[in-house]
């Protein structure tokens, strides 16, 4: 009961003197942990070779001999429960798909509960699901049961991802009404950075735990669960929400305007999806993510196939020839890993840069830049592939990755501008179903077109050009949807009485007297604030350093 009391929203309302700059590190602590979902591919190879035969060689996969998609599905069905065959990347990849499908569904289903229960309780439940899912997956690895990985990390962990992802959104927007984009950019930057920390850490742990007959994956899962539990609990209990009526000292909201793209009132969650603006923004997010996620997931093989031996100073060698030489292929793979690392850095940096820039540019204008520039860059990337210009090709995808991340970080502020802040976390949760859709649409389009062209014997260096044009067409759809966005009609906003009732149901508390701007920079000990930022800053710096080291191979 004592713990339940600590999780109540009433216990999280900040008092006078609270420093709002303590909230972003709490959000980062959670996002840096759940962001490891992006880095789970580091486990695919070790898990795919986990079972060894009497000769010490990996056993055949459960889908050995599969030649069609249906054969692969049949192999996956067998792999769910079999203990006498290895898993394929196709089998394990469904867990990655589940992450983002369940994330969007969980955010949509429980977003309304989060607004009333508060970010601390949501963050706490997120930690239980994400870390508990890792522990259950560890048991699944130990017993070689694929269904346990799907259920543990994919479904239960996916619920943790959804709750953890949206837990700080409305809180940060309320603490930073003067810099909404920057605030959400800081937190959502952590989700992109989680894999930069988690992937090298997981690799290090597996190397420590590995034995000749055990790749060390289940032990790594257990260790990560323990570390993440500490960080996520610290983040959850670090959340505070401002009292009703709080605002930064010296800041006044912009005057209402019928032409403004920033709403002065609030739309109820039950009405948000009835507005055309919600569905236009759903299309905006879906197209922006679809055009990026498939390519980012295939970044390393895309670079190797397109440039072949040019990556290692032998432009006359194509990828088909490169595959026959293990030493040369290994060198090309290292370059591909550097490309992935570079894209990761731009993905993360773009989340903060573009979201912060949107505070000055406006959200709609920022997305116009995403789409117009993205279309041009995909066309240029197709040309760069035909020109065999590695520098232009890499530069194109670095900027595309920055706008992919920036789209995630800017959308919460866009929603707050359109629908107000009262239900922005829950509305954001429902909009994330666009991410779930894109998580299927983007990779399916890219991988299907790739495989079809491969079967048609198209040369490796010519495979991706048409794919880039299809992705550019997706961005055209997103651009049109964004240009159609207009301010929400007055009939959708809540009345003053409805808003007051919702604040009561959400257990909000108003400030007393005229202390409306208490705690702009707060009265906390600066040492405590520095400690909070260093606790998340040091791991993030470690991840960036490791990624930069990998990326250096691209410039040798």
pLDDT in tens, 108-141: 999 989 988 999 999 999 999 999 999 999 999 9
Selection from 473, 482, 507, 476 nearest residue 411 by Cα: 482
Token pair of 534 as six digits: 């260093």
Whether 17 shows a pLDDT value over 80: the answer reads no
Give the confidence band of 291 by pLDDT, cuts at 50, 70, 90: very high
In this predicted structure, the answer to whether residue 488 has a pLDDT above a threshold of 90 is: yes
- Is pLDDT of 68 > 80? no
pLDDT for 510: 64
Q: Which residues contact 545 (CB under 8 A, 6 or more apart)?
A: none
How far is C-alpha 393 from the chain's CA centre? Answer: 24
Q: How far apart are CA 539 and CA 224, in angstroms?
A: 14
pLDDT of residue 389: 93
pLDDT over 70 at 175, yes or no: yes
- Helices 299-307 and 276-297, axial angle in degrees (round to 10): 50
pLDDT range class, residue 521, cuts 50, 70, 90: very low
Task: Say which residue, 54 or 66, is predicted with more confidence.
Answer: 54
Angle at 410 between CA 508 and CA 237, to 5 degrees: 40
CA neighbor of 250 nearest in space, from 510, 23, 521:
521
Q: Which of 16-25, 242-251, 275-284 has the lowest mean pLDDT?
A: 242-251
Task: Look at residue 522 and tell me whether its pLDDT is greater than 70.
Answer: no
d(CA 177, CA 525): 24
Which of 27-36, 86-95, 515-524 has the least mean pLDDT?
Answer: 515-524
Cα angle 454, 455, 459; round to 5: 40
Of all residues in the chain, the percent with pLDDT exceeding 90 is 52
pTM of the model: 0.88
Provide the b/e sequence for 36-67 (b: ≥16 CB within 10 Å). bbbbbbbbbebbbebbeeeeeeeeebbbeebe
Domains in the chain, CATH or no CATH each: 18-53+75-242+522-550 (1.20.1250.20), 263-493 (1.20.1250.20)
The model's pLDDT over 148-160, given as tens digits with 9 standing for 90+, comes to 999 999 999 999 9
3-state secondary structure 120-164: HHHHHHHHHHHHHHHHHHHHHHHHCCHHHHHHHHHHHHHHHHHHH
For tokens 């072949």, what's the residue?
308
Q: How confident is the model at residue 89, as a pLDDT?
A: 77
Q: Model confidence over 329-370: pLDDT tens digits?
A: 777 777 887 888 889 899 999 999 999 999 999 999 999 999
Question: Could you give the dihedral angle defined by the CA atoms of residues 549, 550, 554 and 556, in that order, rounded to the nearest 10 degrees?
Answer: 50
CA atoms of 132 and 243, how far apart (whole Å): 33
pLDDT band (50, 70, 90) for residue 517:
very low
Strands (E), 398-552: none
Burial of 460 (0-12, 13-18, 19+ CB in 10 A): buried
CB distance 290 to 374 below 8 Å:
no
Q: Given a cut of 80, is residue 22 above it in pLDDT? A: yes
């Amino acid at each position: 009961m004592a713990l339940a009391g600590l999780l109540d929203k009433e216990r999280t309302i900040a008092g006078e003197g609270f420093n709002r700059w303590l909230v972003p590190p709490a959000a980062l602590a959670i996002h840096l942990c759940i962001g490891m979902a992006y880095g789970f591919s580091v486990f695919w190879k070790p898990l795919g070779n986990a079972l060894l035969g009497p000769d010490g060689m990996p056993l055949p996969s459960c889908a050995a001999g599969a030649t069609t998609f249906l054969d692969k599905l049949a192999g996956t069905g067998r792999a769910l429960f079999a203990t006498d065959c290895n898993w394929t990347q196709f089998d394990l990849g469904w867990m990655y798909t589940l992450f983002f499908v369940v994330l969007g569904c969980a955010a949509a289903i429980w977003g309304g509960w989060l607004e009333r229960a508060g970010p601390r309780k949501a963050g706490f439940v997120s930690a239980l699901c994400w870390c508990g899912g890792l522990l259950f997956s560890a048991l699944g690895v130990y017993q070689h049961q694929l269904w346990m990985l799907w259920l543990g990390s994919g479904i239960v962990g996916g619920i943790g991802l959804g709750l953890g992802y949206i837990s700080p959104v409305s809180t940060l927007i309320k603490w930073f009404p003067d810099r909404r984009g920057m605030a959400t950019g800081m937190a959502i930057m952590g989700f992109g950075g989680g894999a930069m920390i988690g992937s090298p850490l997981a690799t290090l742990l597996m190397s420590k735990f590995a034995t000749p007959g055990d790749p060390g994956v289940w032990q790594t899962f257990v260790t990560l669960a323990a570390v993440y539990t500490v960080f996520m609990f610290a983040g959850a209990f670090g959340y505070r929400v401002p009292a009703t009526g709080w605002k930064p000292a010296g800041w006044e909201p912009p005057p209402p305007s019928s032409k403004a793209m920033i709403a002065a009132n609030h739309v109820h969650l039950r009405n948000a999806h009835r507005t055309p603006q919600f569905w236009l923004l759903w299309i905006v997010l879906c197209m922006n993510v679809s055009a990026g996620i498939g390519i980012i997931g295939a970044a390393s093989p895309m670079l190797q196939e397109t440039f072949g031996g040019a990556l290692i100073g032998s432009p006359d060698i194509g990828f088909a020839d490169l595959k026959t030489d293990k030493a040369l292929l290994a060198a090309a793979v290292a370059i591909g890993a550097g490309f992935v690392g570079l894209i990761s850095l731009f993905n993360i940096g773009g989340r903060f840069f573009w979201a912060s820039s949107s505070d000055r540019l406006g959200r709609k204008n920022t997305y116009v830049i995403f789409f117009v520039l993205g279309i041009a860059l995909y066309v240029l990337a197709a040309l760069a592939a035909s020109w065999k210009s590695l520098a232009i090709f890499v530069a194109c995808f670095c900027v595309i990755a920055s706008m992919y991340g920036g789209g995630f970080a800017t959308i919460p502020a866009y929603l707050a501008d359109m629908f107000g802040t009262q239900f922005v976390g829950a509305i954001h949760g429902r909009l994330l179903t666009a991410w779930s859709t894109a998580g299927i649409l983007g990779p399916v389009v890219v991988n299907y077109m790739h495989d079809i062209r491969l079967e048609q014997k198209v040369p490796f260096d010519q495979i991706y050009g048409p794919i880039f044009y299809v992705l550019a067409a997706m961005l055209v759809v997103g651009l049109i949807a964004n240009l159609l966005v207009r301010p929400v009609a007055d009939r959708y906003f809540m009345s003053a009485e409805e808003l007051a009732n919702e604040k009561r149901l959400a257990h909000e508390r108003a400030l007393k007297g005229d202390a409306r701007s208490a705690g702009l920079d707060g009265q906390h000990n600066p040492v405590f604030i520095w400690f909070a930022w260093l606790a998340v800053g040091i791991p993030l710096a470690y991840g960036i350093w490791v990624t930069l080291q990998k990326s250096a191979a691209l410039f040798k």
